[in-house]
Structure 1
Amino acid sequence: MAHTEATHRSVPSPAGRIHLVEQGAGPLVLLVHGFPESWYSWRRQLPALAAAGYRVAAIDVRGYGRSSKPGAVDAYRMLDLVEDNVAVVHALGERSAVVVGHDVGAAVAANSALARPDVFRAVGLLSVPYAPRGGPRPGEIFAHMGGDEEFYVSYFQQPGRAEAEIEPDVRGWLAGFYAALSADTMPSSDAPDPHFVSRGGQLRDRLPTGPRPGWLGEDDLDVYAGEFERTGLSGALNRYRNMDRDWEDLAGFDGAPITQPSLFAGGSLDASTTWLADAIEAYPRTLPGLVSSHILDGCGHWIQQERPAEVNRLLTDWLAALPA
């Protein structure tokens, strides 16, 4: 198949403009990154999926990179991000797409498939399993996690608080955060958990300060740090600050399954996989269209960057088996 170069462009969305990197031709696959990343987290998947015959678009989610960054915290609700994804598909001249997400991008991908099955014909989830809306408000659940310690999602809630920690040294904070969740650099099981903050402390207090993960080269860190140094972290953190609004907005989907063909892949060393093991066990009910499910042994959270060849194979095999 002929090689095609990746192109950068922006398209209109309800938020303003969404930046994307596009490569290839054929059926559209939309890639949605997580926190704290950008379209760049899919740099190893773009050429592989394009070579397999797909048109691939990796976006900067609203608030990240070169996409628009509304000032209001409540402009980052889940259903707003779903409509951004729909707008990207339509702006690319397509009626439907497969959507694949990682980390919080997996939640955006899942809800895109749930809320707009007319547009998203299949969904792939990396690292974070699908768990239907239900139960108490998320803010109440997270507030009671950790006992005397504060869960990182709760720590992110107050506007400006996490920004004050991160923005004076974006590069160092990112390097530590990536290392904390990577298989080859994460703290030992008997070390303080980096997902929690000591009362009165900061998240960075528990982030590793040693070598970078094997997948994170100096140039890669340059890209990530450069974007967040330019934009700040508020847009990215505002996704977490809408979890209770999302719980209200998605009330009509309480307990709802995603019925489209689906894929899940997670790392065996990723807390998102182990903490949400019950969600994975519930897939026969919550993801009845699941056709490909994998736990990658010895892999951490940044699955498509830690294991690019393996993830590319899983994605291309799954995509090839989807109905036309």
Structure 2
Amino acid sequence: MKKTNFLLSALGVIFLLSCSSDDNSDTGVVTSEMAYLFATTHNGDVKRYDINTGTITTYANSSSDSEGIYYSDVDDSFTIVSRSSGRLESYLNISELGSGETVNPENSIVGSPDLESPRDLTVNGDYYVVSDNTDLDGDETTPEGRLFIYIRTATGFVLRNIVQTKFKVWGIEFVGEDLFAVVDETSRLAVYRDFLNSNRINQVVTANKIIAIQGIVRAHGLDYDGGNMILSDIGEAESSSDGALHVIENFDQKFSNTDNGGFIGAEDQLRISGNNTLLGNPVNVVYDSAYNVIFVAEVLNNNGRILAFNNATSVSGNISPDLTYALQEVSSVFFHTE
């Protein structure tokens, strides 16, 4: 059995145990050593789905609204971006708490409450970067955003500096040392080359390059792995049925070959959209190239769902997800496997 089949087959166990109202066609289970899917919500729930056992663990935490999550196996911790407290919160040694039902992490480190409207988190070594889409001047005709750069230490998160962008920012993703950022309310994608080294002080910065992705109405989430870039399109914010996923293989070459101000055409992408997909507002995505699967945080359809699409680089159109799992107000996802 291929790894891609393993992943969603195992996830089917989670579905069958936990959400009989949604449909799933996967059968059979093949396990691996470790495979966890983490998720945050706008109601404060943080969950981990153990793919090997089908066990769902809910982590009590101090946030009543979070968006952005990262798991580190260095100290067995997950870090969330708390919208309610405006800070980073990391919960340590979570495996010691066991699994199943609700557990209460007692060891945590937190950052200072600097954030106003955080939207995404990306990590490069000890550097944790948070996007914030606060309208700083109160003028919607002059969009701007901020990127908060933190250094994680043994005792907390130290704010190194704040970079102000010339557009409203949402999803962010490191690709090597370069930082890619979604230009919110548009179809555009920006890159800041050698981001951490090139932006060491508080300043307004200009992206090195901005291109458009043909077919996207309003980009939100993005994730890169194995040379492939996945972007989510929420379409009209009020619609629960017009979302989409865009899959761009050989992304590095296609991005490099596109002039600043140009676009990657529809013929160079795969697009998953339509009523069968259950995509309305896919606000966050995570992609794993080893399993070739996309996990989606769909916040609007059915009041919130985690969706998964198998064989991501070979499917397109109005297809049904390989897994649906109800999670009210889901805001972000992160996949970790060993």
Q: Fold conserved (TM > 0.5)?
A: no
Higher helix share: 1
Higher strand share: 2
What is the TM-score when the length of structure 1 is the normalising length? 0.28
